[in-house]
């Protein structure tokens, strides 16, 4: 009996895994990890968990992982530019390529590659061979280039999105069926692979053309019939390009297979072999998870196979939904609450009908009391909105079926649990859940937050969304929100999701949160981040919740009047600008059109192009042009007012919450690389102040009658941190003596007596001081001061000469970044520095400047966070009723009864100045007034 016949008898379902695609995704999706010997292994780890999950989930009888062999293939012979602009793989990835192949062999899975062909070609060839033998094939990849292979017996599966890709999904992506994908790609090209395509034709146009003419050859033959003249000509001119592109994109399936299909048969796992490999890589958690000392795992199950096998397969071990329960009666609720108290720690999540926590209504609550044991407690449940039918208010017929427990009864039972000091509530971005519950009068304490844990541990090396972390740390794909609620116009609110579906989604979130907590919390200690998390981040959450809920009062009528005033002046300025352009109208808001007007119509000199080849028209350029022509100055005025009107006066009025009459920003605690907060919807950290027109907007931020706003800001906090961190004696003394720091700097650096420092010298010294904070460069300083680079360089040398400690600090900081991949602030926060070893000099220099800025900006962020954490209790203790409203990096804004203004200021100053004990004093300037503008 020949090998081929033998395999034909048992070959029913072949799984082909795009190994090369996975390596890159794993590498870029995971934070850096190294083995004890220093070898980077993050891609190996990611690949291993993905392979593990696939082996568990799939019902294949044959399986292979396919790799690219080398960069040179028949395609590069055809077209040397193919993938030519791809940078070489990152340094940290290179040693991982062989390790990933080792991983495949450790699982005893076939590992296929072939000189001269890409993995995609081999996948095509094996898919063809298997389907000829009557088998079905699942291609595990998310590479759109493979979509041309989809058919009756061939499906794709995207493991990241947990989504099967069949003909419908291909049509969705390309606008044509799988058999015409190649023709569409030939027309639209592919920027990522440097496939040229036909200029000016994108995926939409390509699909439309192929749909109309049937295929590429017919289209090219009949190109003369196309109505649009421009399109007709480009197609005629680029027919050869299109054919070349097609040959590049079309997968070859006609080579001799390096291994027969029969060699891909699934083999029983050899536990010792796998354990040895995992141990070598230091993947202890995987060894434990697989329980590798126990009897060997049976080979992959051989259940009947369909294209959707991956979807139908049971969830991976430990992620069963069997113990997710819907809570619809009080007895069940009480059982879960008892289990929560017993456990002492729960995963916790709320579902609502809005992303805006100030408008959201509580739709349901989910709790997880142990991994895999979770429940969903619906609070509001409405029938799905029937499409196209009118609502006759006859809800009874539709909503027949299980009803939630009345909301007040749920809250009465849950509130004691949520406030129970012996039960830790673990949420993911629990700030949001606390907001929603606070609106219902339900406090939540004590708490932990997996989003913040992830943020302090891994910084900006990856996102901190729940779905992303589940994938990363648990190898689990969460049910996506869009799967449950849809997207775009047809998106429904969570209260309309059928209960069983809602249970699976919501319970999973609580479950995953609890599991992530088990993984992340212990890392705090191991990675020396306990202090940062426990004293800076976690206690800040309730403070931020209160600030966001308080909001700020804005003077609506004043803003509207301002908006109208701006509007009139904008119209006048526009008319002036158009007149100055010889009466030729153009869109003043379009940099592209403006560039043409300035440098082509008016022919003004000094035009520069941005990196995309457009004319640069930034404020600095327009200022240079101002002496030459009246138009640029008018346009600057127009831009200023246009910005103020659209971003501030109009937007702020629209953001006033109807229920409170105030604007409520959202602070993000896990957004920045340095540890700062960020503010959005609306952003209240960038309200204008630098110009007179802009300050008018600040005047609209006011206190309630009988109250005042207090603004308290740290004076020169970042420069003080430089003096402290770098130990600069000259600056330390100046700060200790309470001197004008920029004047002192000018005097010391330029070698003139203090009395002789004029405003120009002081301005230059100030720019250098700022430059130091940003990781100074002659270019940057020169641009800032409008002086030649040589002069800027001399200033920097003089500065380093006078303050020699700064040079050592900069070198040490860069070295720290190179050895660890991060720098630490004086309070222990890690600021990650990706790119610090980049071999591109510019990229590296960028990372170096960011590294120098890290401890300074991050340290200042730590200090104000410490102040914010301590302030509420200090105010209460002093008998003050003031509320914190805003944080703007070095400034806090409070609202206080007028009568308490002075006493409140005293408390605020004491807390802020005492928030850290550095080798330089901290100084806070504070004032009270009816509006933010006057208080500042």
Partner DNA sequence: AGCCTCACG
Partner DNA sequence: GACGTACGTGAGGCTT
Residue 517's φ and ψ, nearest 5 degrees, are -60, -40
Number of other residues whose CB lies within 10 A of the CB of residue 298: 8
As separate numbers, helices (DSSP H) first and strands (DSSP E) second, the chain gives 41, 23
Q: What is the nearest approach in angstroms of DNA to the Cβ of residue 9?
A: 47
Which residues lie across from 667 on neighbouring strands?
679
Q: What is the nearest approach in angstroms of DNA to the Cβ of residue 792?
A: 8
Please identify, among the stretches 66-74, 298-306, 543-551, 671-679, the one whose residues bind DNA according to the rule CB under 7 A. 671-679
Determine whether 240 is exposed, middle or buried from the number of CB atoms within 10 Å of its CB (0-12, 13-18, 19+). Answer: exposed
| Site mask for DNA (CB under 7 A), range 444-463, x = bound | ----------------x---
Q: What is the nearest approach in angstroms of DNA to the Cβ of residue 772?
A: 8
740 CB-near residues (< 8 Å, 6+ apart): 762
Tokens of 9: 């008898």
Task: Using CB under 7 A, pick the residue from 270, 689, 736, 756 that binds DNA.
Answer: 689
Query: Residues for the chain: how many in total?
Result: 936
Q: What is the nearest approach in angstroms of DNA to the Cβ of residue 508?
A: 26
Q: What is the nearest approach in angstroms of DNA to the Cβ of residue 474?
A: 26
Nearer to DNA, 230 or 293 (CB): 230
Nearer to DNA, 372 or 858 (CB): 858
Task: Verify binding: residue 690, DNA, rule CB under 7 A.
Answer: yes
Determine whether 790 is exposed, middle or buried from the number of CB atoms within 10 Å of its CB (0-12, 13-18, 19+). Answer: exposed
Which residues lie across from 325 on neighbouring strands?
375
**How many angstroms separate the CA atoms of 13 and 301, rounded?**
12
Nearer to DNA, 476 or 849 (CB): 849
Q: What is the nearest approach in angstroms of DNA to the Cβ of residue 611?
A: 6
Task: Verify binding: residue 558, DNA, rule CB under 7 A.
Answer: no
Nearer to DNA, 378 or 771 (CB): 771
| Cis status of the peptide bond prior to 446, with omega within 30 of 0 | yes
Q: What is the nearest approach in angstroms of DNA to the Cβ of residue 674?
A: 5
Q: What is the nearest approach in angstroms of DNA to the Cβ of residue 256?
A: 40
Q: What is the nearest approach in angstroms of DNA to the Cβ of residue 434?
A: 20
How far the first Cα of the chain sits from its last, in Å, is 90
Nearer to DNA, 105 or 144 (CB): 144
Between helix 181-188 and helix 203-213 the angle, nearest 10°, is 130
Query: For residue 557, what are the CA distances in angstroms to 642, 647, 696?
Result: 19, 17, 13
Tokens of 743: 């004047």
Task: Using CB under 7 A, pick the residue from 257, 341, 671, 927 that binds DNA.
Answer: 671
Tokens 């989930």 appear where? Answer: 57
Task: Verify binding: residue 593, DNA, rule CB under 7 A.
Answer: yes
Q: What is the nearest approach in angstroms of DNA to the Cβ of residue 890?
A: 3
Q: What is the nearest approach in angstroms of DNA to the Cβ of residue 201?
A: 11
Task: Using CB under 7 A, pick the residue from 539, 694, 897, 930 that binds DNA.
Answer: 694
3-state secondary structure 921-933: CCCEEEEEECEHH
Task: Using CB under 7 A, pick the residue from 657, 683, 733, 881 that binds DNA.
Answer: 683
Task: Using CB under 7 A, pick the residue from 49, 245, 679, 748 that binds DNA.
Answer: 679
Residue 361's φ and ψ, nearest 5 degrees, are -105, 145
Tokens 């146009």 appear where? Answer: 205
Nearer to DNA, 79 or 586 (CB): 586
Closest by CA to 169, choosing from 183, 188, 154, 187, is 154
Q: What is the nearest approach in angstroms of DNA to the Cβ of residue 808?
A: 19
Nearer to DNA, 279 or 689 (CB): 689
Q: What is the nearest approach in angstroms of DNA to the Cβ of residue 673?
A: 4
Task: Using CB under 7 A, pick the residue from 535, 672, 812, 919 that binds DNA.
Answer: 672
Tokens of 202: 């994108």
C-alpha 618: how far from chain center = 28
Restricted to residues 294-333, the positions that interact with DNA (CB under 7 A) are none
Determine whether 374 is exposed, middle or buried from the number of CB atoms within 10 Å of its CB (0-12, 13-18, 19+). Answer: buried
Tokens of 174: 């390309």
Beta strand 701-702 with 552-554 is antiparallel
Restricted to residues 615-634, the positions that interact with DNA (CB under 7 A) are 615-619, 622
Restricted to residues 113-152, the positions that interact with DNA (CB under 7 A) are none
Nearer to DNA, 557 or 654 (CB): 654
Number of other residues whose CB lies within 10 A of the CB of residue 461: 17
Task: Using CB under 7 A, pick the residue from 239, 546, 602, 636 that binds DNA.
Answer: 636
Task: Using CB under 7 A, pick the residue from 372, 682, 821, 855 that binds DNA.
Answer: 682
Q: What is the nearest approach in angstroms of DNA to the Cβ of residue 204?
A: 11
Nearer to DNA, 14 or 622 (CB): 622
Nearer to DNA, 527 or 620 (CB): 620
Residue 80's φ and ψ, nearest 5 degrees, are -60, -25
Q: What is the nearest approach in angstroms of DNA to the Cβ of residue 820?
A: 16
Q: What is the nearest approach in angstroms of DNA to the Cβ of residue 460?
A: 6
Task: Verify binding: residue 560, DNA, rule CB under 7 A.
Answer: no
Nearer to DNA, 74 or 774 (CB): 774
What is the phi-psi region of residue 155: left when phi exceeds 0, alpha when psi lies from -120 to 50, beta otherwise?
beta
- H-helix or E-strand containing 95? none
**How many angstroms separate the CA atoms of 132 and 257, rounded?**
14
611 CB-near residues (< 8 Å, 6+ apart): none
Restricted to residues 857-916, the positions that interact with DNA (CB under 7 A) are 857, 888-891
Restricted to residues 596-615, the positions that interact with DNA (CB under 7 A) are 610-612, 614-615
Restricted to residues 640-659, the positions that interact with DNA (CB under 7 A) are 640, 642-644, 646-647, 651
**How many angstroms separate the CA atoms of 711 and 930, rounded?**
11
Q: What is the nearest approach in angstroms of DNA to the Cβ of residue 825?
A: 13
Nearer to DNA, 189 or 688 (CB): 688
Nearer to DNA, 127 or 652 (CB): 652
Nearer to DNA, 95 or 780 (CB): 780
**How many angstroms separate the CA atoms of 353 and 364, rounded?**
10
Nearer to DNA, 376 or 714 (CB): 714
Binding-site residue total for DNA (CB under 7 A)? Answer: 72
Q: Is the C-alpha dihedral spanning 6, 10, 11, 14 positive or negative?
A: negative
Number of other residues whose CB lies within 10 A of the CB of residue 454: 27
DSSP calls for 532-574? IIIIIITTHHHHHHHHHHH-EEE-HHHHHHHHHHHHHHHHHHH
Closest by CA to 632, choosing from 595, 669, 676, is 595
Nearer to DNA, 300 or 888 (CB): 888
Task: Using CB under 7 A, pick the residue from 228, 354, 482, 680 that binds DNA.
Answer: 680
Task: Verify binding: residue 481, DNA, rule CB under 7 A.
Answer: no
Whether the CB-CB separation of 398 and 496 falls below 8 Å is answered with no
Number of other residues whose CB lies within 10 A of the CB of residue 695: 17
Nearer to DNA, 266 or 622 (CB): 622
Q: What is the nearest approach in angstroms of DNA to the Cβ of residue 162?
A: 20
Task: Using CB under 7 A, pick the residue from 70, 601, 657, 686 that binds DNA.
Answer: 686
Tokens of 871: 């302030």
Restricted to residues 762-791, the positions that interact with DNA (CB under 7 A) are 767-768, 770-771, 774-777, 779-781, 783-784
**What is the signed CA dihedral for 525, 528, 531, 536, rounded to 10 degrees?**
-110
């Amino acid at each position: 009996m020949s090998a081929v016949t033998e395999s034909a008898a048992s070959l029913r379902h072949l799984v082909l895994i795009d190994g090369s695609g996975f390596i890159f995704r794993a590498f870029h999706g995971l934070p850096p990890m190294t083995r004890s010997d220093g070898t980077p292994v993050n891609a190996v780890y990611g690949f291993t968990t993905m392979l593990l999950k696939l082996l568990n989930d799939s019902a294949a009888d044959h399986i292979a992982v396919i790799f690219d062999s080398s960069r040179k293939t028949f395609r590069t012979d055809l077209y040397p530019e193919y993938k030519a602009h791809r940078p070489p793989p990152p340094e940290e990835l290179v040693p991982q390529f062989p390790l990933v192949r080792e991983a495949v062999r450790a699982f005893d899975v076939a590992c296929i590659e072939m000189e001269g062909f890409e993995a995609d070609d081999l996948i095509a060839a094996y898919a063809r061979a298997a389907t000829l033998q009557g088998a079905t094939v699942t291609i595990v990849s998310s590479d759109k280039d493979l979509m041309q292979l989809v058919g009756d017996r061939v499906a794709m599966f995207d493991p990241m999105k947990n989504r099967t890709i069949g003909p419908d999904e291909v049509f969705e992506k390309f606008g044509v069926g799988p058999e015409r994908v190649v023709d569409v790609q030939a027309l639209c090209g592919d920027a990522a692979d440097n496939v040229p395509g036909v200029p000016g034709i994108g995926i939409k146009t390509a699909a439309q053309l192929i749909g109309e003419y049937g295929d590429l050859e017919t289209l090219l033959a009949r190109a003369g019939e196309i109505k649009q003249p421009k399109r007709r000509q480009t197609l005629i001119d680029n027919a050869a390009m299109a054919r070349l592109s097609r040959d590049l994109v079309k997968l070859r399936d006609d080579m001799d297979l390096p291994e027969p299909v029969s060699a891909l048969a699934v083999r029983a796992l050899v536990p010792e072999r796998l354990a040895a490999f995992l141990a070598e890589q230091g993947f202890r958690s995987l060894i434990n998870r697989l329980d590798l000392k126990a009897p060997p795992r049976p080979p992959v199950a051989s259940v009947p196979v369909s294209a959707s096998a991956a979807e139908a397969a049971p969830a991976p071990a430990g992620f069963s939904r069997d113990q997710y329960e819907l809570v619809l009666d009080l007895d069940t609720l009480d059982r879960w609450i008892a289990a929560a108290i017993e456990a002492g720690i729960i995963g916790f999540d709320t579902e609502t009908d809005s992303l805006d926590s100030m408008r959201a209504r509580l739709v349901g609550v989910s709790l997880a009391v142990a991994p895999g044991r979770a429940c969903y407690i619906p609070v509001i449940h409405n029938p799905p909105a029937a499409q196209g039918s009118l609502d006759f208010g006859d809800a009874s017929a539709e909503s027949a079926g299980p009803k939630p427990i009345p909301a007040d009864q749920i809250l009465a039972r849950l509130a004691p649990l949520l406030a129970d000091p012996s039960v830790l509530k673990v949420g993911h971005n629990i700030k949001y859940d606390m907001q929603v519950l606070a609106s219902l009068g339900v406090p939540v304490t004590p708490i932990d937050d997996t989003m913040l844990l992830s943020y302090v541990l891994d910084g900006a090396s990856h996102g901190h969304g729940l779905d992303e972390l589940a994938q990363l740390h648990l190898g689990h794909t969460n049910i996506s929100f869009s799967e449950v609620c849809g997207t775009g116009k047809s998106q429904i609110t969570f209260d309309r999701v059928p209960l069983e579906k809602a249970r699976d989604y919501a319970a999973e979130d609580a479950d995953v949160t609890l599991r992530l907590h088990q993984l992340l919390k212990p890392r705090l200690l191991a990675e020396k981040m306990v202090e940062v998390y426990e004293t800076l981040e976690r206690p800040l959450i309730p403070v931020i919740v209160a600030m966001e809920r308080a909001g700020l009062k804005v003077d609506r009528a004043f803003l509207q009047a301002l908006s109208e005033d701006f509007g009139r002046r904008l119209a006048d300025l526009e008319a002036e600008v158009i007149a100055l352009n010889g009466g030729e109208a153009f869109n003043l808001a379009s940099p592209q059109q403006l560039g043409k007007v300035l440098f082509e119509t008016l022919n003004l000199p000094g035009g520069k192009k941005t990196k995309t080849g457009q004319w640069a028209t930034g404020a600095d350029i327009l200022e240079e042009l101002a002496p030459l022509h009246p138009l640029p100055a008018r346009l600057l005025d127009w831009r200023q007012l246009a910005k103020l009107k659209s971003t501030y006066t109009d937007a702020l009025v629209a953001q006033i919450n109807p229920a409170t009459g105030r604007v409520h920003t959202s602070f993000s605690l896990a957004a920045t690389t340095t540890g700062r907060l960020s503010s959005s919807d609306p952003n209240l950290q960038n309200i204008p102040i630098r110009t007179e027109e802009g300050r008018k907007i600040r005047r609209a931020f006011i206190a309630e009658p009988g109250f005042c706003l207090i603004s308290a800001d740290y004076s020169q906090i970042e420069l003080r941190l430089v003096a402290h961190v770098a130990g600069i004696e000259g600056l330390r003394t100046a700060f200790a003596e309470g001197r004008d720091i920029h004047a002192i700097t000018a005097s010391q650096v330029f070698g003139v007596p203090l009395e002789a420092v004029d405003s120009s010298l002081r301005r230059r010294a100030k720019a250098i001081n700022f430059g130091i904070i940003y990781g100074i460069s002659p270019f940057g300083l020169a641009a800032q001061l409008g002086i030649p680079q040589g002069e800027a360089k001399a200033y920097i040398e003089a500065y380093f000469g006078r303050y020699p400690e700064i040079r050592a600090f900069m070198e040490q900081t860069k070295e720290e970044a190179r050895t660890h991949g991060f720098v630490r602030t004086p309070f222990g926060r890690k600021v990650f520095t990706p790119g610090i070893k980049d071999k591109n000099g510019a990229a590296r220099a960028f990372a170096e400047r960011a590294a120098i800025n890290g401890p300074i900006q991050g340290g200042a962020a730590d200090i104000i966070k410490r102040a914010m954490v301590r302030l509420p209790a200090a105010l209460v203790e002093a008998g003050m009723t003031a509320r914190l409203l805003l944080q703007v990096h070095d400034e806090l804004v409070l609202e206080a009864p007028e009568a308490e203004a002075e006493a409140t200021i005293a408390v605020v100053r004491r807390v802020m100045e005492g928030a850290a004990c550095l080798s330089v004093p901290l100084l806070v300037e504070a004032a009270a007034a009816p509006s933010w503008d006057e208080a500042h």
